[in-house]
Amino acid sequence: MRSLVLLLLVHLVFLAEAKGGGRAGLAAALNDDVLGLIVFKADVVDPEGRLATWSEDDERACAWAGITCDPRTGGVSGLNLAGFGLSGKLGRGLLRLESLQSLSLSANNFSGDIPPDLARLPDLQSLDLSSNAFSGAIPEGFFGKCHALRDVSLANNAFTGDTPDVAACGTLASLNLSSNRLAGILPSGIWSLNALRTLDLSGNAITGELPVGISKMFNLRALNLRRNRLTGSLPDDIGDCPLLRSVDLSSNSLSGNLPESLRRLSTCTDLDLSSNELTGNVPTWVGEMVSLETLDLSGNKFSGEIPGSIGGLMSLRELRLSGNGFTGGLPESIGGCRSLVHVDVSWNSLTGSLPTWVFASGVQWVSVSYNTFSGVVMVPVNASSVIQGVDLSSNSFSGRIPLELSQLLTLQSLNMSWNSLSGSVPASIVEMKSLELLDLSANRLNGSIPSTIGGKSFKVLSLAKNSLTGEIPPQIGDCSALTSLDLSHNSLTGAIPAAIANLTNLQTADLSRNKLTGGLPKQLSNLAHLICFNISHNQLSGDLPPGSFFDTISLSSVSDNPGLCGAKLNSSCPGVLPKPIVLNPDSSSNPLTQKEPVPGGLHHKKTILSISALVAIGAAVLIAVGIITITVLNLQVRAPGSHSAAAAAALELSDGYLSQSPTTDVNAGKLVMFGGGNPEFSASTHALLNKDCELGRGGFGTVYKTTLRDGQPVAIKKLTVSSLVKSQDEFEREVKMLGKLRHRNLVALKGYYWTPSLQLLIYEFVSGGNLHKQLHESSNANYLSWKERFDIVLGMARSLAHLHRHDIIHYNLKSSNIMLDDSGEAKVGDYGLAKLLPLLDRYVLSSKVQSALGYMAPEFTCRTVKITEKCDVYGFGVLVLEVMTGRTPVEYMEDDVIVLCDVVRAALDEGKVEECVDEKLCGKFPLEEAVPIMKLGLVCTSQVPSNRPDMSEVVNILELIRCPQDSPEAELGKPCIAGETPLFLYQRGKQRCFHFMCSGNFGAQQIEQTERNGNGNGNANSALLGRLSVVKSLAASQAYVSHCLPRILPVFCLRDGQFPIVFVVASSPESPEHVVTKMFMHRWAMGDGNY
């Protein structure tokens, strides 16, 4: 009945509009606001019932959830449904709200197009549709007649097409179209919006140069165009916007010098021009921008000296100049910036000694890594009491580690690796209570590890590549928070202390290349979070500890220890008795009985054998009974009068958003549909779960295809794990949460059916089959093109990022769970189903969920390790390699097993990773995309979960990797930008990580020659750096967190033995000696060989 009333109301709306009378005719008796809102609600999916107070029986809507009314007129003036968990389409009902002034639908899951006339509501001042799933082009003329519109936000959607022209919307004060997929050039008319205060078009694909005329925007306060594809120079008149306080043009391809007009921005507080191609010197007049709080010029091609005038910026809090070609010293005057908190001048060619203000001012984080600073590190007596992080790595500092560092009571991170420091490790340093990261690796330290070590805060400790001697102190077991320990490449002796087993949070440990002796403590098997434990190249002996980790440890992690033994090493241990031999007691020809008399207890063994046989027979009987029971139940399920019939009968009613059977009979079952409509099936109930309709079988159940009465096909998954499924309330709560999810790359869950013994999930039907069949079972003539493969990978990444934003882990990624629609777009299915199971660990580890073990993250093998979204990242990485190579994750040969990740990684080491691309493509792919996307797959399959990027980062990286596809497919394989090296950058918090690409590799010997001849030569390097198109890199060890956190895409590295070497590439290929230079060789031990 309610559905009939709703249809009548909708009819009244359109009847009134058709007659042009607005409120005339039959609709005059009804409140326009109520009518419009009810029509709007009809298009909305409300899984949480947040709109339950909205009733067509009410005369006014003022008491409804999310509604605000004008006290003078009683009309609806505000509609705020932000974060209500709504989905569906945005219909025309809102156009009836003629008094509406504010509309906010942000943070929901609305999709589809937006009504073209929405912005034309006469009183509308604020429109916020951000953080939804709207798609398609912004309607032409949407901003053509804005009336009173002042604030518009369409951010964080999926809008495509050209950037809209908003010149006609002269009342706009704030416009936010960020994080969409808008393209084309920036319309010149945008500068004519005199009232505009805030403009944010960041995170799109806008191209071309910045149009002239920005000086007309005399009210502009904030300009954000970062992460686009803008080219050309900065506008000369940008400094003529007198009120401009924030400018962010980062992550574009802007070039040229800084325009002098910038000096007139006396009120500007934030200037971010990072990750562009800006050149020249930083002018001294930058010191006249007295209001600056953040100055970020990192990742450009600036040269010359850092101007000392920066020291006059009293409000400056963050100074980021990393990844340029600056020379000379670090000005002492910068210490005069009283508000300075963060300084990053890494990855330059700075020389001289370290200024004392680094430790004496109020700076909290400072990084001078990857320069050529030298001399002794001096810490003044009046050292700062607030400094938290210091990174002096990869320089040429010498002398002893200053004892005064222990005065820095708030210090959390200290990285002095890759210098020439000597002497012993000061005991006072390792005793610091607040220190979480200490990296003193790759120096010339000697002596023993202080026995006073044991800081409760230590999370990362690296003393590798020194000349340390003595034993590993057992007190190290008191570092209860330690997750990463690296003592490799020293001369440590003695046994591995059993106290290491007390490090319950330990994930990686590298004790390789020492002189350790004795056996491995058995207690090590208690380390539940252990992922990597490298003890290779020592003198250890005995058996490996028991436990799942050491049962699966890689041989490279225990190699070159002649005394180690055990089944894993195919070597029996001395004194270990062989397994007992089972003999037939009735045999008279047993050779052993000829040497020894039959023991007197032989008859007792016969009795034990008889009991064992009876137990085996009893178990077999129980199994047979179980099989018969399951068969009978399945036959009942398929019978016409069973649950299938109940399901079909329950599907006959619909009621608003939820179509739910009103019956309370558990045996009849309960059906819930998300979205309303008439879900009656066209097939008979007997055919609903018939094998003839079966689409496939998976770890969670069997999938059948059926058709609704309206002709809409759906897929029904019959869960086959009924005995493991949670209670009805928990099941419904989890399924309803999954039903709220809507994303173009997710297979939509449309409803469910419940009984205690039968659970059905109703999904949209995706007609293009699954990715596994397309990759491995299709003919050569029907192969996926490179663009299609890239789109599939990007679609998978976006869907997983969407799931993770809603705290949902997929658990079961594999190519057979990736569906393809008619247009070839990827849709991820089977997401979140493992949460329906109370015994998650047991089930996830079973072969049912991970039918192809090649997709499983290594932490799945440890039951006590917390399963996180990083497990999905690992499976995604495997899928990336599978899609790009056309090979399965694991290939079983006659006498060998080939793992795809290992194959690609080996090809990467040899500089031939492009040869792994699917041969069906016949070389028709761009190298600038192929190489980094394969490397991205390897990074995602890192053995250490924390080293894998988040899926949101993966999406950003993929969007940066993609080359413009303007050329025909015959042109694929050529560089995207001739003669230049594309630079990628992504930001995690306030940390910026640089990525670059190159077209070839250099031999390790030649690299070593470069190190011997050129490293440390400031003049030679600065001359060379001036010609480099990229002066950045991205290497970072697990302990290197001050500059770039460990989740970094290693775009290009070389191998030198077991160490990767970071290098940069010049834009001039004619001079090979200028093509590659080594940037102070930041290297780290590879452990088991994984990045």
**Cα-only R_g, the chain:** 33
Is the Cβ–Cβ distance between 815 and 772 less than 8 Å?
A: yes
Structure tokens belonging to residue 1006: 């030649």
Give the span between the Cα atoms of 21 and 332, in whole angstroms: 76
- How far does Cα 121 stand from its chain's mean position? 40
Phi, psi of 976 (to 5 degrees): -65, -40
Please report the sign of the dihedral spanned by the C-alpha atoms of residue 181, residue 187, residue 193, residue 198: positive
Is the Cβ–Cβ distance between 261 and 236 less than 8 Å?
A: yes
Report the Cα–Cα distance between both ends of the chain, in Å, rounded.
63
Which of 363, 354, 299 has the alpha carbon at shortest distance from 332? 354
Give the span between the Cα atoms of 309 and 331, in whole angstroms: 9
Is the Cβ–Cβ distance between 333 and 1009 less than 8 Å?
A: no
**b vs e for 707-728, b when ≥16 Cβ sit within 10 Å of the residue's Cβ?**
ebeeeeebbbbbbbbeeebeee
Residue 515 is assigned to a ligand binding site:
no
Which of 684, 679, 747 has the alpha carbon at shortest distance from 711? 679
Q: Which residues pair with 494 in a beta bridge?
A: 516
| 159 three-class SS | strand
- How far does Cα 197 stand from its chain's mean position? 33
- Whole-angstrom CA distances from 805 to 246, 594, 798, 830 are 28, 72, 11, 17
Give the span between the Cα atoms of 353 and 378, in whole angstroms: 9
- Whole-angstrom CA distances from 540 to 544, 563, 899, 931 are 10, 6, 30, 40
Phi, psi of 246 (to 5 degrees): -135, 125
Give the span between the Cα atoms of 768 and 786, in whole angstroms: 18
Is the Cβ–Cβ distance between 315 and 288 less than 8 Å?
A: no
What DSSP assignment string belongs to 686-710?
TTTT-GGGEEEE-SSEEEEEEEBTT
Which of 742, 754, 727 has the alpha carbon at shortest distance from 660? 754
Q: Which residues pair with 421 in a beta bridge?
A: 399
Q: Any idea which residue has 């178990």 for tokens?
A: 619
Is the Cβ–Cβ distance between 260 and 284 less than 8 Å?
A: no
What stretches of 1000-1063 show up as alpha helix (H) in DSSP?
1004-1014, 1018-1025
Is the Cβ–Cβ distance between 31 and 60 less than 8 Å?
A: yes
What DSSP assignment string belongs to 306-340?
PPGGGGG-TT--EEE--SSEEES---GGGGG-TT-
**b vs e for 355-392, b when ≥16 Cβ sit within 10 Å of the residue's Cβ?**
bebbbbbbbbbbbbbbbbbbeebebeeebbeebbbbbb
| 604 three-class SS | helix
Structure tokens belonging to residue 100: 């509406």
Phi, psi of 360 (to 5 degrees): -100, -20
Give the span between the Cα atoms of 488 and 509, in whole angstroms: 9
- How far does Cα 760 stand from its chain's mean position? 32
Structure tokens belonging to residue 999: 């077209």
CA angle, 828 as apex, 771 and 948 as ends, to 5°? 95
The type of residue at 926 is P
Instruction: Give the residue numbers of the binding site for ATP.
Output: 718
Instruction: Give the residue numbers of the binding site.
Output: 718
